[in-house]
Structure 1
Amino acid sequence: MKKQEKEAIYEYHLHADSPGKMQFEVQSLQDGIKDHQEDMSKPHIHSFYQVIWFKSGNGKHFVDFNEYDVSENTIFFIAKNQVHAFDHNPDYQGFVIHFSEDFLVQKENDVDFFLKCSMFNNPYQIPSCCVGSGNEYKLDEYIVQMQTELKEHDKYGQEELLRLYLKAFLIQVQRRKYELEQLNKGLAPFIVDEKRTQLIHFVNLIEENYTKGLPASQYAEMLFVSLRTLSNLTLQLLNKKPSEMIHERIVLEAKRLLLHSELNVNQIADKIGFEDSSYFIRYFKKYTGQSPTSFRKSFQ
């Protein structure tokens, strides 16, 4: 990986010096910490997706202004452009999987779409899962297969085989997440039904268009449903209005830029689609209770 300075935050790119190289790799977590702990403990972003499997060790991991516990067999799913940071524990053991969106998604079938947009691009679920002791053996097998295949060179079907191992790994983790949800909340077995898929499509559209100032009605049109149908969907599954979800994504990006860049308030307003910086200030204060400047100072 190569890092380049972007304002006050680092952005990491996978094989930046070798753009033709396969956009996939598996690394030892302990080796990464040994070589790059200082950089890893600073807030940073990636232009690719990352799966972090903490096989052993206890501590904290920081994702978009939230602190999450790390314990044995905790797995984190970090989306591209998501701000995160490690703590200073030097004793973690585990693996990190890096891959680009193009590597995972080839034909945008239902499974690919769901894995990409539910596990990595979903701000309405915890970005981690504890697979638990005794459930990790299948995941270990996939890691071994990935590592073995990566040692080969120019073998027929290598990229496709690695993609299959990656999907199998993610599917196994997703299954475990659903099992835990059902146990903890007494939920019925999870079904990837039309409503859930439509919600994920809406979340994905927000991610692609939140800087354009589109109203909820326009998102409904893009989904080929009425605004009432979209509202019923988000209220039923998340207890949120569509407009709330749009506002939350805009405010999240504003917070990221306020804390992790050197842009001034006017520049941030422009970057996230506000023509009038004074309106941006009122907007931010309405949804956070603080002005952008006060929010920034509170973290200094």
Structure 2
Amino acid sequence: MRYTFRQLEVFLAAAHFQNITKAADSLSMSQSAASSALKDIESQFDLPLFDRIGKRLQLNEQGRLIRPKAEQLIEQAKELERIMAQHKDAGHLKVGATLTIGNYLAVSTMAEMMQEQPDAEVSLSVANTSEIGQKVLNFEIDIGLIEGELQHQDLDVIPWRDDELVVFCAPEHPFADQLQLTDRQLKEAEWILRESGSGTRQAFDRAMHGVLPEIQVKLELQHTEAIKRAVSANLGIGCLSRVALEDAFKRGSLIPLPVPHRDFSRKFYFVIHKQKYRSAGIERWMELCRSSF
């Protein structure tokens, strides 16, 4: 580029004040520096922009034609500078989420962010907790939303919100009318569970401490909806996040089974690479997640 934004600023200040000294003062420049900048832009294009009458500068026809274009360009540059200084532009945000969060929570946050910032591009990939953690480590995604705990020296794992798992069955299941399940019933049941490596399975295994070796796992499935359908078909009982089950409980298509002596509470987490710059998009995404639920 054969001109600088500083040269354009000098040109516009000179056009406004019609005096190089006043133009220099407005830009906190020396008179000689301002005069040199103005002469440089004129000489580079062999295009005088002013008629010089003593110490007075008066725009000529070429100067009048260029002035509005220069004003527009400077304003665009200032706006870009403000955006970069304040980090307001979300840009392209790559989010990864575990199945429960991706299917039941993240989409509404995406919609809210894109409505708030129409130019933002938000992509969402869904996988289990261990896979999301690996994607964050590989910088394939900017931020992960996970159901299970991860420990890695390069990851920041930040608590987001509370959640709980719920044991459930079909209305026709023999346990459906139980006020609460005993450990004996937990061991007698046939279970349909998430796969190992998922945050849901991690929380389930922790809750079943002491009886886990005796739990009868009939099916392991990777999708919450598949587990709900299998349980609804009375193939066994399941255990998923309450977030994924609320609608089915309201309809009566699935029945919650209280297990008060077992702790099914857990947390959802944000996960970010420690070396990842936390852009405006990442920070705003976290704000929206925290305020929405």
Q: TM range, normalised to the smaller chain? A: under 0.3
Structure of higher RCO (CA pairs closer than 8 Å, 6+ residues apart): 2
Return the index of the structure with the highest Cα Rg.
Answer: 2
**Higher strand share goes to which structure?**
2
Report the TM-score, using the length of structure 1 for normalisation: 0.23
